[in-house]
Amino acid sequence: MSTKLFLTVLGIVLITGCSKTTTTVTNISSLQSPDGKNVVEISITEEGQLQYSLSHDGQKVVLPSTLGFELRGNVKSESLDYEGNRPVMSDNDPCYLFDRGFEVTGFRNSSFDETWNPVWGEESEIRNHYNELLVCLKHTASDKLMNVRFRLFDDGLGFRYEFPSGQPLVYFKIKEELTEFNMAGDNESWWIPGDYDTQEYEYSHTRLSQIASHFDDFMRGNSSRTPFDRHGVQSALIMKTTEGLYVTIHEAALVDYPCMHLLVDGKTSGIRTWLTPDAEGWKGSLQTPAKTPWRTIQVAESATEMLASRLVLNLNEPCAYEDVSWIHPVKYMGVWWEMIAGAGSWNYTDDFQSVKLGETDFNNAKPNGRHAGNNNKVREYIDFAAENGFDALLVEGWNIGWEDWANCDKDYVFDFLTPYPDFDIQALNDYAHSKGIRLVMHHETSSSVRNYERHMEAAYSLMNQYGYDAVKSGYVGDILPEGLHHYSQWMVNHYLYCVTEAARHHIMVNAHEAVRPTGLCRTYPNLIGNESAMGTEYQAFGGINPGHTAILPFTRLNGGPMDYTPGIFEMNLKEWCGNDSHVNSTICGQLALYVTMYSPLQMAADIPEHYKQFMDAFQFIKDVAIDWSCSKYIYAEPADYLIIARKAKKDGQWFLGGVTDEQERSFNISLDFLEPGTYTATIYADAPDADCYKNPQAYTISTIEVTPQTTLPVTMKPGGGFAVSFEPKKQEDVCPSVVY
Amino acid sequence: MSTKLFLTVLGIVLITGCSKTTTTVTNISSLQSPDGKNVVEISITEEGQLQYSLSHDGQKVVLPSTLGFELRGNVKSESLDYEGNRPVMSDNDPCYLFDRGFEVTGFRNSSFDETWNPVWGEESEIRNHYNELLVCLKHTASDKLMNVRFRLFDDGLGFRYEFPSGQPLVYFKIKEELTEFNMAGDNESWWIPGDYDTQEYEYSHTRLSQIASHFDDFMRGNSSRTPFDRHGVQSALIMKTTEGLYVTIHEAALVDYPCMHLLVDGKTSGIRTWLTPDAEGWKGSLQTPAKTPWRTIQVAESATEMLASRLVLNLNEPCAYEDVSWIHPVKYMGVWWEMIAGAGSWNYTDDFQSVKLGETDFNNAKPNGRHAGNNNKVREYIDFAAENGFDALLVEGWNIGWEDWANCDKDYVFDFLTPYPDFDIQALNDYAHSKGIRLVMHHETSSSVRNYERHMEAAYSLMNQYGYDAVKSGYVGDILPEGLHHYSQWMVNHYLYCVTEAARHHIMVNAHEAVRPTGLCRTYPNLIGNESAMGTEYQAFGGINPGHTAILPFTRLNGGPMDYTPGIFEMNLKEWCGNDSHVNSTICGQLALYVTMYSPLQMAADIPEHYKQFMDAFQFIKDVAIDWSCSKYIYAEPADYLIIARKAKKDGQWFLGGVTDEQERSFNISLDFLEPGTYTATIYADAPDADCYKNPQAYTISTIEVTPQTTLPVTMKPGGGFAVSFEPKKQEDVCPSVVY
């Protein structure tokens, strides 16, 4: 069927745009999700603008929204190359709008249904089931081609732009991506301020119309912070419509493209993309054939259904590695929290006002007595971690340069190779390995990105030499060279380069302060963690409002796991080490995070001395699995509460956990997720007088016998939570009388 | 003697500044050159501004000129670090002037006299003889310390800023360097426009007052051009005073600091520094202890004396390498000029509109029939180069990616590893080595700097594997990431990184489009060449005005050798390959360049077919040495003419060469530079009817017998030159009757 014929059989409607002028809009195609509930309508305006809208079960979610770009280059043709036969860009080329003047040259419909097995994850099987529509466009004035590929799932919509090869558009720079998500109403939203350099913010909960006026509510210090507009927020952005639908806007498969932010028009509830610029303000440099990341709109009828959505993972490419045998979940401890809290230091000495690597002599420097990453302490941690069944131990501050690493714009800030005199890298790794522990490498780059890349091959080779198989990297402070941002295309390229280079060395990567994940761990499963949100460290930087961990699974975790570093047992940092900040959680609130904050990389972040005071509670951290065959989202409301059950991939054991915000909450939990049988449930619950501020260490541990028919009542105290492990009763326990 | 005591014994004078206000200036010290002719006066103004002035033999060269900076940070103290004990920078810190408010806290005088031997050069011994004065300053308001070190030579002044350690100034960003060079008069000057990205300009010859109005005179296309101000010019800037002194402003030892430009106030003849900014506009990021490059003011009573000045080399550090046995001069040919002229192509195929490395399949692509770097042609070049005694052969376009390498903002533009299907890297290197030829590697980066660094180790290792020991690198087009400039600190750091990384592989570097040299080849003698000026290639891009090669030795070559790529014999490019450009030189003008344009890396740039037509003239290129034990500058005037004689380091043979601009010029040359004896002089001279435009290939070759007492008359025709080789007559020639 030709395009023209197709157009004639579809209806023509007149809509009134915001500008009060009437424009003719022609519906040209539509797409339904496999279950028929989600419907996308595709239309084109009189001006040749492609629009889409999205509804769920008859409820409008996204009103007609325009797609396109503003690009650099002349409309008719860019400059030509030396031979005069290939369009290239010139600095003098004006920009032009590439969101109108299109004609539709074709459609292609298809369907897809597969089930795939992640290397690690919240479940062992994920169904990837969608109907697809490819809309092929030609920009009439320039003959330039652009396609838009829509994939409609039961849990929402993904679409991306594709620029085919063999056309007049070859190399181009993006002035702005003009993708619209025009919301059907003034939705409730949970958001953090748009920022080119950090996601380390607490969430605000307002209507879309209130974002600009609440933009500063949770501003706080960060070593690199670049908010760009009071109407700007970051993705994933979760919203709730007046009809009660949950809607999340995010992106999937962010590869060699700037990170997407969202600009919200509070008057119209219109949202549009706002990309992260390079140092000259350009927002992406592409070469055809090219494709953008997927723009995703997840839709769910309940918050728990939203948590179960795997749309972002499904829109990523399958695993890029043939051999994944070297990738594994990691439960670890770290010589870390004591530096974060201020009880110890990363740096070895106070002798130097500043350091120049290669010139400063550490061997003859006087130790400051506070350096945490030293031989004795590391051995103590290894002992404790080994005794309690951990896989690994992170040691920060092991390498020279921490005396003046941050905020100094030092290009050669670390070499990632030279240990401090009191860190015997050979002996400590040998000792760790003798106890079944791997050390986790730490590469803080101080955002001196070129310096890291210059040393990366040697640094990864050093890891191979000593038997490290995982690295935590960090990007604290402004990016060097100056003018670049953490979330720019150049940096997005860098983060993935680190992951693929690490893969060549069979190294797993946990990158902090990098761009927030977009499901790339499906393709590159050695990316076992990211930070990219406000993590536990902020409990030592002024505290975190309860409820933060009840929003993260909806937003930050949508694209991939977070190294949230839970497990703090000593909340009174002042008493411990004089830090005025307070950890706003109960011990059971911390235990719950091992279930509610999915990650294949889970830390027990507190120090051994604090765990030793509560070994009965610590038992849950020892027991809990970190890789799952299935997950059940039982109760949830963003930023309020979460209750999740998960089944261990290794042995099928179930665990249950829940967190609440500053409100006490009680639930009755049906244990119908359990397989038939009888279980001993060990319940770690906030004590009746527990409170994250006033009495955070009060808990009870009880053991009861349960079956799938049991309804378990739980109460979470303010800022608290609970955790449950289920041990199947052995046959001899159920039938104590054995017949010979 | 205390500072205060010292001050009292010096005079106090009142001068009237430009602002018509009177300020009290106190002379605080002075310095004389070893021969007593150059005198520097150091003074401090009432406002605490340090000033210097320079005179030569009583003639004022530089009037009192202020020294200092504008820096980022509060005057009193910058922000403090986490522990509150170390000043760090904040984006919110305002800038402050660091060129006033100083008190002098001490002086230190010293003298130095050594003779050192360069690994290669215009002579085998260089005397480094100066008197030094260190002026120690304290910024009263902030207790920040800065020293200025002056070194006064017989051939001029060098001074630099030094920031000692252990003081309140630790990390800082430079808003601008405020060094003044206030000229005593409206000097004649030979200059190219100030530009952050290229030095590929022809020179203008105007008074300082006329620079702004002539700024556009020689503007022409370049793949990356960023002039910043009509009053801006580049260094080395050579001037001639009304008294006839020659004065050159340049810099020495540019390491991890932005390249210096000069801003000229045409009304006052005041010149001040203007550094190359980073993407945010900052002009340098430093950490104490730190030092700037040397600012140099060479002074000479004649143009030939200026050519003999080694001040810039002397201000660089001694050789950094213990073993320099692998560094050697190179006379080479190249598969290059035919691509530059348009007779061949760098790219292998015309199949692809654009290339994506790793995806594009070159093995099944159709060759375009014009690809010059192919097995057959390379073998022909190897044969010719070997037959004629060359050391090496450059091959450009050997590696995949040239189909769309320029002006496309491609990050992954080259891999520096994968040859085109018709370039058998193993076989060609084997063949070359069997004939005593080394291939010269080519690394065009297309200014995708991170991509080059990512591949550098593998690329240098590939060179080691196949026996390459020299690389020509290139930085065509705008720097990636966007917003950075070729001459910024980040790039200056990169160029030196390439050189020191290459040294680890025993590789010599010839970097094109990199920052112009500042004598670093003394310290890193594997930096055997740079382009960083308009070279021969522009003869194929519209032609170069005669006289260009008569200015370059005063300006561009002041800091180090240039890979000018002389030796073009076929000037009519139109007839050869349809290129409308004409090579504006005579064949003898080309021969002369091997003597007048010193470089340890000399190319015979034309193609074998053209040389084969003029093998008698080509004989000079075969004969001429490329490393010298001494050099004599006989006649010279910037941009007009140059006559230089040099003695080969290897065997003591003398060579003589001269070039002229568009004017015919005749000279009588005393051969008194020759050692006693009789010589056969082979004279390559422009024919009487030669002319660079109309009759460029007309020459005569004559042989005469000469002694040191001979005066040799030479005539250079418009755009022409001459060359002479001197063969000592053997004893049996002088005394043919042998007595047994």
Instruction: For residues B398 and B381, give the distance between their C-alpha atoms in angstroms, rounded to a whole number.
Output: 14
Q: What is the pLDDT of residue A738?
A: 47
Give pLDDT tens digits for A264-275: 999 999 999 999
Q: What is the pLDDT of residue B736?
A: 47
Burial-class residue B133 by CB neighbours within 10 Å (0-12, 13-18, 19+). Answer: buried
Q: What is the pLDDT of residue A221?
A: 77
Give pLDDT tens digits for B619-659: 999 999 999 999 999 999 999 999 999 999 999 999 999 99
Give pLDDT tens digits for A281-334: 999 999 999 999 999 999 999 999 999 999 999 999 999 999 999 999 999 999
Q: What is the pLDDT of residue A404?
A: 92
Phi, psi of A78 (to 5 degrees): -75, 180
Q: What is the pLDDT of residue B322?
A: 97
Instruction: For residues A227 and A216, give the distance between their C-alpha atoms in angstroms, rounded to a whole number.
Output: 10
Average pLDDT of the residues of chain B: 94
Q: What is the pLDDT of residue B75?
A: 66
Neighbours of A291 (CB within 10 A): 18
- Whether B89 and A165 lie within 8 Å, measured CB to CB: no
Instruction: For residues A722 and A590, give the distance between their C-alpha atoms in angstroms, rounded to a whole number.
Output: 8
Amino acid residing at B358: G
CA distance between the termini of chain B: 76
- Whether B481 and A481 lie within 8 Å, measured CB to CB: yes
Measure in Å the smallest separation between the Cα of A288 and chain B Cα atoms: 8
- Compute the count of residue pairs across chains A and B with CB atoms less than 8 Å apart: 120
The residues that bridge with A79 in the sheet, in sequence order, are A88
Instruction: For residues A271 and A179, give the distance between their C-alpha atoms in angstroms, rounded to a whole number.
Output: 8
- Whether B409 and A89 lie within 8 Å, measured CB to CB: yes
Instruction: For residues A342 and A346, give the distance between their C-alpha atoms in angstroms, rounded to a whole number.
Output: 10
Residues of A in contact with B409 (CB under 8 A): 89, 171, 173, 285
Nearest CB to B171; choose among A90, A285, A409: A409
Burial-class residue A503 by CB neighbours within 10 Å (0-12, 13-18, 19+). Answer: buried
Nearest CB to A86; choose among B278, B353, B410: B353
Are A246 and A303 spatial neighbours (Cβ–Cβ below 8 Å)?
yes
Asked if pLDDT for residue B333 goes beyond 50, the answer is yes
Say yes or no: A466 contacts chain B, CB-CB below 8 A.
Answer: no
- Whether B353 and A409 lie within 8 Å, measured CB to CB: no
Mean pLDDT, range B323-332, rounded to an integer? 98
Give pLDDT tens digits for B73-106: 766 655 665 555 556 666 667 889 999 999 999 9
Residues of A in contact with B79 (CB under 8 A): 407
Residues of B in contact with A483 (CB under 8 A): 278-280, 483
User: CB-based contacts of B304: which residues, under 8 Å, 6+ apart?
Assistant: B633, B634, B635, B636
Say yes or no: B361 contacts chain A, CB-CB below 8 A.
Answer: no
Are B693 and B719 spatial neighbours (Cβ–Cβ below 8 Å)?
yes
Are B49 and B141 spatial neighbours (Cβ–Cβ below 8 Å)?
no
Half-sphere exposure of B440 (CA within 13 A, CB side): 32
- For residue A686, the surrounding DSSP H or E stretch is strand A679-686
Tokens 């069927």, residue located: A1
Report the complex ipTM: 0.93
Q: What is the pLDDT of residue A521?
A: 98
Instruction: For residues B389 and B382, give the distance between their C-alpha atoms in angstroms, rounded to a whole number.
Output: 11
Are B29 and B21 spatial neighbours (Cβ–Cβ below 8 Å)?
no
Q: What is the pLDDT of residue A520?
A: 98
- Whether B406 and A453 lie within 8 Å, measured CB to CB: no
Structure tokens at A462: 């050093």
Known catalytic residue at A575: no
Q: What is the pLDDT of residue B731?
A: 63
Give pLDDT tens digits for B170-201: 899 999 999 999 999 999 999 999 999 999 99
Q: Which of residues 382 through 411 in chain A touch B, CB cutoff 8 A?
A: 404, 406-411
Instruction: For residues A249 and A189, give the distance between their C-alpha atoms in angstroms, rounded to a whole number.
Output: 11
Nearest CB to A88; choose among B165, B279, B407: B407
Nearest CB to B282; choose among A282, A482, A490: A482
The residue of chain A with its CA nearest to that of B278 is A482
Give pLDDT tens digits for B487-524: 999 999 999 999 999 999 999 999 999 999 999 999 99
Q: Is the dihedral of CA A343, A348, A352, A353 positive or negative?
A: negative
**Angle at which helices A375-387 and A425-434 cross, to 10°:** 10
Q: What percent of chain B has pLDDT over 90?
A: 89
User: CB-based contacts of B423: which residues, under 8 Å, 6+ apart?
Assistant: B373, B374, B375, B378, B395, B398, B399
What's A708's DSSP letter?
T
Structure tokens at A83: 């031979």
pTM attached to this predicted model: 0.94
What 3-state class would DSSP assign to B28? strand
Q: Which residues in chain A show pLDDT less than 70?
A: 1-22, 74-92, 731-740
Measure in Å the smallest separation between the Cα of A407 and chain B Cα atoms: 6
